[in-house]
Structure 1
Amino acid sequence: MILGIEGVSCVGKTTLAALLASHLDQPTVIPCYFHASPAPTRLPTPEPFTADHQLANIAQFLEVEDLRLTQARQALADGRDVILDRTVDTLLAHAHAVGRMNGFDCDDQAQHAVTSRTVSMPDLTIVLTADPDVLARRASLRKGMPTIFYDRHFSEHFNAYFDHPLAPAVVRLDTTTGSPEELAARALSHISRHQASEHPLREAS
């Protein structure tokens, strides 16, 4: 199984991935694009102002996706589940959000760029959300966090993208209240239900 964890920055994706890894059977956790990149400081800036700039950024991130795909394939070949800290849907959600904020629309071209190649596609994606004011407080504790990542409008547009993502199955979990452990328990419940629906029990004849 490939599990994707999505959401804007500071919403708790990496924390949830670590907690789920401790409950599942030794899955491989594949880090987000920034941490998976061999040269993270060379990754694009988060807020392009033109469609062409945004599409060029996606092409650069897809090079990192190739590395993540290799890791996912190896894990599956070894019989291990995979947890993706961000998925290719994050690239499209970002493009959707910054486009709406800056007056351009490259959604169709961005989706074509992603779907025209082989990528790591989760069986189930968990999208984490939180109150924008809570995200802003969390972001203030991270030195150098670009302001766009906790802009209320960015979060709204980013999350709206997941009404129609590439991922075949999506559930949303709010992280505004409750402990990380409670969030993990809710996520595990959704994972169990998804796995049961994928592999229903056969009735005895």
Structure 2
Amino acid sequence: MREVSDKSSDCAPLRDSIDDVSEFAPSHPRSILAIEGPSLSGKTTLIARILAAHTQVFHFGCYVEALGASPIPPFDPGSTAGQVEAFLVFAQVEAERSAKLALLDPAYSVLFDRSIDSLLAHAYALDKLRRYDSLPRVRDLAAQLPVSVPDATFFLDAAPSLLRSRLETRMGALPPMFIDDEFVAAFKEFFELDMQLSPSVTFIDAASVEDVIPLLMTDFLLK
């Protein structure tokens, strides 16, 4: 999630807008896979490689990308109420995803750049670091609102040193909190404690994204 004052994003667009999905007609069941992990862990690179290699994988970009020109909530809204309000903004993207998924050909596997679990993990991390109490409230909202839960999640686990080295070569600003050691650890802890909605999470060393992960993704998406 991104500060209002900083429109830069670590989730660059990878495919044309999904506003028009009329070319896809229902056929048979598909798999939905989410890619999670801290900023600069390699999610965009991984997704780009998968999309380049496989034509029957449809990509939904991250929440910041999906909001486009709309105001983006701050990384830390400053209170429990503020975090709940921020969740509701991003929940609009979840509603759009759900509506568009209903129109997509089930023959296409689906790839999420972050999922509803990313929003919940963000709330969990801020609750832990700022002593908010937003997670129970946003969980209740997630149960009431239209959300798309992935069948499986792959979490790119990046060491702090790797994130800092990638930040040095990154084009464009990135708020420091995005790769803050405590925030990244708390964000990951949400998945380690199996608190996510996704039924399964696989942790993979982000440093191996060039070699190992594409094979695993292909096995899941195209099985």
| TM-score, normalization by structure 2 | 0.78
Shift of 1:44: 0.3
Q: Deviations over 1:2-21 (max 9, x none)?
A: 11111111111111112223
Alignment match, 1:98: 126
Give the Cα separation in 2 of the matches to 1:72 and 1:18. 20
User: In structure 1, how many angstroms separate the alpha carbons of the residues matched to 2:103 and 2:211?
Assistant: 29
Query: Does residue 180 of structure 1 match 2:210?
Result: yes
SS in 1 for 2:103: helix
Letter in 2 for 1:46: F
Q: CA deviation at 1:23?
A: 3.9
1:54 paired with 2:83, answer yes
How many residues matched?
A: 190
Counterpart-to-counterpart distance in 2, 1:69 and 1:139 = 33
Q: Within 2, Cα distance between the matches of 1:39 and 1:71?
A: 20
2:64 paired with 1:34: yes
Gaps of 5+ in 1: 196-205
Q: How far is 1:25 from its partner?
A: 4.7
Distance in 2 (CA, whole Å) between partners of 1:38 and 1:4 is 20
Aligned match of 2:18 = none
1:23-72 deviation line (CA, Å, top 9, x unaligned): 445211010011111325x1101112211000000001101222222232
Q: Deviations over 1:61-93 (max 9, x none)?
A: 101222222232222x35311101100000000
State the secondary structure of the residue aligned to 1:74. Answer: coil
Look up the match of 2:97. 68
Distance 1:173 1:92, change over 3 A: same
Confirm or deny: 8 A CA contact 1:28 1:80 kept in the other structure.
yes
Query: Are residues 63 and 179 of structure 1, via their aligned partners in 2, closer, same or farther at CA, if it must alter by over 3 Å?
Result: closer
Tell me if the contact between 1:25 and 1:81 (Cα under 8 Å) persists in the aligned partners.
no
Aligned to 2:35: 5
Match of 1:144 in 2: 173
CA contact under 8 A between 1:19 and 1:181: conserved in structure 2? no
Identity rate, percent: 29
Aligned to 1:199: none
Letter in 2 for 1:57: A
CA distance in 2, matches of 1:187, 1:28: 13
Structure 2 contact 152–198 (Cα < 8 Å) conserved: yes
Q: Identify which of 83, 97, 119 aligns with 2:111.
A: 83
1:129, 1:174 within 8 Å by CA — same for their partners in 2?
A: yes
Q: 1:72 to 1:45 in 2, by over 3 A?
A: same
CA-CA distance at 1:143 after TM superposition: 2.3
Partner of 2:158: 130
Q: CA RMSD in A?
A: 1.9
Distance across 2 between alignment mates of 1:179 and 1:156? 20
2:47 counterpart of 1:17:
yes
The one-letter code of the counterpart of 2:215 is A
* Contact 1:66/1:119, CA 8 A, preserved across alignment: yes
The alpha-carbon distance between structure 1 residues 134 and 59, as it changes in their structure 2 partners (threshold 3 A), is same
Q: 1:30–1:71: 8 Å Cα contact kept in structure 2?
A: no
Separation in structure 2 between the aligned mates of residue 142 and residue 20 of structure 1, nearest angstrom: 23
1:168 corresponding residue in structure 2: 199
* TM-score using structure 1 length: 0.85
4+ residue runs over 4 A deviation: none
